Amino acid sequence: GKGSFPSVLCMLGIPAVVAKVPKIVVVTPPNEKGEVDDAILAAAKIIGITEIYKVGGIQAVAAVAYGTETIPKCHKIIGPGNSYATAAKRVLANHIDAGLPAGPSEIIVLADEKADPEKVALDWMIEAEHGPDSAALLVTHSKELVEKVVPIVNRQLEKISPKRKEFIETNLTTYGGVILTNSLDESIDFVNEYAPEHMEVMTEKPFDTLPKIKNAGEILLGDYTPVTLCNFVLGPNAILPTGGFAKTYSSVSVQDFLKRSSVGYASKDGFENVRDYAYRFAKVEGFDTHGLAVKERK
């Protein structure tokens, strides 16, 4: 409940509507007045979602996993949360499809010696303001760049609210900071090992760097593509895997609300063409009735 995020509801709700999910339930923590924030309600109305419950955190995850007198049991829960909500989804993964692990927020700004220190400083702070448990890293092989960026961050901090300033200062002394490497290639190796949620490529030739990035939830290229754009207006879905899970998970899309069934059919001629091969597998694996079903079939 650290803020109101109508953009998150849009990025979750719109793919679900496009996928024709028959029942969409929203759980969201109430504000200090015990109400759902107006911006959340407006987004829900635009999307066409009408079932909203004022509950967040681990109790919201448990409610949709098991069902309560008020909240229906659901098949799947998708969306970001703090470290407790993310842990709850993993603990209850046997009861509900917990989707991709999303939260707390992460960013890596990958920069070289040609990067603009002002833009690097501004973008480095973006995810750090999400909360004290977020992670914001500047990864570069240029010590000179770091020496220019840090004073700029300190100057920019004076322009923001005390709440967000505290989040950033906490972040940059705990999970965030600078990773100074020996080369751009070493920086890229670090990125691929860390597998960040968001990453910005602020190198001299970002499109040359792009093919080398193997693990990242979102890759933003160049000086004019801050996370801000992708969070709100650019198009890529900003509900992304965190905690290194970008190695195996992807961003939220319509595909997260769809499933597949395998369908098979064999004609009589087709069956005759493959029955002997199936029988061999059955014999090797020791399944007698599997073998009989093809061997004795007339």
Query: Where in the sequence numbering do the catalytic residues fall?
Result: 197-198
> Could you give the CA distance from residue 111 to residue 123 in angstroms, rounded to a whole number?
11
Residue 227 contacts residue 198 (beta carbons within 8 Å): yes
What is the distance in angstroms between the CA of the first residue and the CA of the last residue of the chain?
66
> Could you give the CA distance from residue 94 to residue 269 in angstroms, rounded to a whole number?
42
Cis peptide before 104 (omega within 30 of 0): yes
**Nearest of 163, 155, 167 to residue 122 by alpha carbon:** 155
63 φ/ψ sector (left φ>0, alpha ψ -120 to 50, else beta): alpha
Residue 276 burial by Cβ neighbours in a 10 Å radius (0-12, 13-18, 19+): exposed
